[in-house]
Amino acid sequence: MARNDRIALAAILVGAALGMADVLASLAPFSEAGGARPASEDEQRVWSQAQEFSGIIGKSGVLYQDGALDAYLQQVMDSLFPEFRGAIRVRAVQAPQLNAFALPDGAIYVNTGLMARFGNEAQLATVLAHEGTHFTHRHGFRSQQNLKSNAAFASVTAMLGVPILPQLLAISSIFGFSREMETEADQVGYDRLQKAGYDPHESPKVFEHLMREVKAEGVDEPFFFASHPKLKERVDNMTRFSARAPAGGGGTSRADYARTVQKLRVDNLEGMLSMGRAKSALLMLEDPDHLAELPPYAPYYLGEAYRLRGGEGDSLRSEKAYLKALADAPDFAPTYRALGIHFLKTGQYSESIRHLTRYLEVAPDARDRKYVENYLQIARNKKEGR
């Protein structure tokens, strides 16, 4: 192809990309449920993909099955976006990762891991308001189009030797929404929060807590806000917005929220521990306020988290936690097993036998009976010096 043709073609492609950017910038947010529909074939495609993705989520068994919790989530969402009732649908996803995501068609998914972390309904509402805004402001479609046009832009300009900053495109296009869209979701979401009567001073706390957890766990996976700097931006935005807000507002009752999500929190703890996420579990369980909101046997999970972390002094910490669980909830069978195994490993065979035997009495149908019987035999053999 002749040089002039190449330049002309490149100019057309670049122009198209920039033109696309202008069109996307002017794409108006949805104003209410009735009008929340794709406005173009391109947008319809993105909605179809979203529906297909929701179908996959439904078939894959990852949805957290709790009708009452779904109803609660939906009620909070509807209080934030009353004019979008029916258009924004929210469900909980069984996953310990700190994640929530909004699909372009109004389907919002919140991980149980994230929900378990909130201290009250206002904090939950902060995230739902943020995610709901991604839908009302069509960020999903705009991101997809940006990715296509920017990727084209990048490939063309790379060919022609024009320098660009590919890492900016990557961050904005692949790991969450662009900085501008996230800031828009912060602002509009914050306004919704206030209008619905929630205490806006709770909003920065959500992200501060997430930042602590990111640092503690050091996970690499993409999640809700993708990167530490992005989380810092959320904290800064929310702090700035709420600085102007008067004191007071609803949704701050820890007790009410704790009652609603107690089962979810326990399920989430079990999920986290089963995936080896001891540090994250400890962040929650070492908070006495949080521990107090869990059932009386919750110190068992604290013991398990220490055991799995396996750091210096953790063996003794786990024993102490198990004993607390035993004192507070003597009918909770797993504590006996945990203590039985702990004493086996620490050479206290009589105690091991006593607790493992008690476990099988309290849980005669235990699925791990064979392991426990095996350990009982080991403990007896050791005790007898065999």
Partner 1 sequence: MRRILLACAAAFLAGCVAPPARVDVSETRAPDQSYMVDLPTGWIKHTQPDKTLLVSRDGFPLQTIILAHAPLERAFPRTKKAASETMLPSELAELYISELKNRDQQLSVLKVIENEPVRLDGRDGFRSRVSYMTPRGLEMHHVSYGLADKSGFYRIEYAAPKLYYFDRTLGDFEKTVASFRLTNREKTATK
Partner 2 sequence: MASKRIAFLVATFILTGCATPQKASLHEALSSRGEQGMPHKILLLPVDVRVHEISAGGVVEKVDEWTLTANANATKSLRKIAGSGKAFELKEPPDFTGEDKAVLEEHLALYVHVAGSADLARSSNFEVWRERAKKFDYTLGPGLSRIAEHADADAAIIIVGSDYVSSSGRKATMALGFLAAAFTGVAIVPAGGTAFISVGVVDLKSGDLLWFSTDRSANRDLRDDGQMQAVLEQLFASYPGMTPAKAARGAQ
Residues of this chain that interact with partner 2 (CB under 8 A) are 1, 6, 9, 12-13, 16, 41, 44-46, 48-49, 52-53, 56-57, 60, 144, 147-156, 159
Tell me the three state secondary structure of residue 385. Answer: coil
> At closest approach, how far in Å is the CB of 97 from partner 2?
14
Contact of residue 345 among partner 2, partner 1, none (CB under 5-8 Å per partner type): partner 1
Helix H segments across the chain?
3-25, 41-59, 67-80, 112-117, 121-136, 139-159, 166-173, 179-195, 203-217, 228-243, 254-274, 278-285, 288-292, 299-309, 314-328, 333-345, 349-362, 369-383
Residue 152 interacts with, from partner 2, partner 1, none (CB under 5-8 Å by kind): partner 2
Which of partner 2, partner 1, none sits in contact with 49, Cβ below 5 to 8 A by type? partner 2
Question: In this structure, which amino acid lies at residue 38?
Answer: P
Closer residue to partner 1 in complex, CB, 51/187: 51
Residue 25 binds which of partner 1, partner 2, none (CB < 5-8 A, kind-dependent): none
Query: Toward partner 1, which CB reaches closer, 94 or 357?
Result: 94
| Euclidean distance between CA atoms 204 and 184, whole angstroms | 16
Residue 285: C-alpha distances to residues 209, 270, 306, 336 (Å): 14, 12, 10, 20
Contact 176, 230 (CB under 8 A): yes
Q: How far is Cα 386 from Cα 379, in angstroms, rounded to an integer?
A: 10
CB 54, min distance to partner 1, A: 12
Nearer to partner 1, 152 or 226 (CB): 226
| 136, 29 Cβ separation under 8 angstroms | yes
Q: In the bound complex, what is the minimum distance in angstroms from residue 57's beta carbon to partner 1?
A: 9
Contact indicator for 226, 175 with CB cutoff of 8 Å: yes
Concatenated DSSP letters for 40-106? SHHHHHHHHHHHHHHHHHHHTT-B---HHHHHHHHHHHHHHSGGGTTTSEEEEE---SS-EEE-TTS
Q: How far is the CB of 132 from partner 2 (least distance, A)?
A: 23
Return the amino acid letter for 214.
Answer: V
Please give the Cα distance from 245 to 243 (Å, whole number).
6
Residue 8 interacting entry, from partner 1, partner 2, none, C-beta within 5 to 8 Å by type: none
Of the two residues 272 and 298, which places its CB atom closer to partner 1 in the complex? 272
- The residue among 205 and 307 lying less far from partner 1, judged by its C-beta, is 307
For partner 1, which is the closer residue by CB, 274 or 350?
274
Shortest distance, CB of residue 378 to partner 1, whole angstroms?
Answer: 5
75 touches which of partner 1, partner 2, none (CB within 5 to 8 A by kind)? none
What are the φ/ψ torsions at residue 353 (nearest 5 degrees)? -60, -45
Q: Which is nearer to partner 1, 276 or 330 (CB)?
A: 276
Residue 367 contact, options partner 2, partner 1, none, Cβ 5-8 Å cut-off depending on partner type:
partner 1
Rounded to a whole number of angstroms, the minimum distance from the CB of residue 49 to partner 2 is: 6
What does the binding site for partner 1 look like in residue numbers (CB under 8 A)?
A: 56, 59-62, 94-96, 274-276, 341, 344-345, 367-368, 370-371, 374-375, 377-378, 381
The listed partner (partner 1, partner 2, none) that binds 45, CB under 5 to 8 Å by sort, is partner 2
Q: Which is nearer to partner 2, 169 or 211 (CB)?
A: 169
The amino acid at 206: V
Q: How far apart are CA 219 and CA 288, in angstroms?
A: 25
Shortest distance (Å) from residue 51 CB to partner 1: 14
* Nearest-angstrom CA–CA distance, 7 and 3: 6
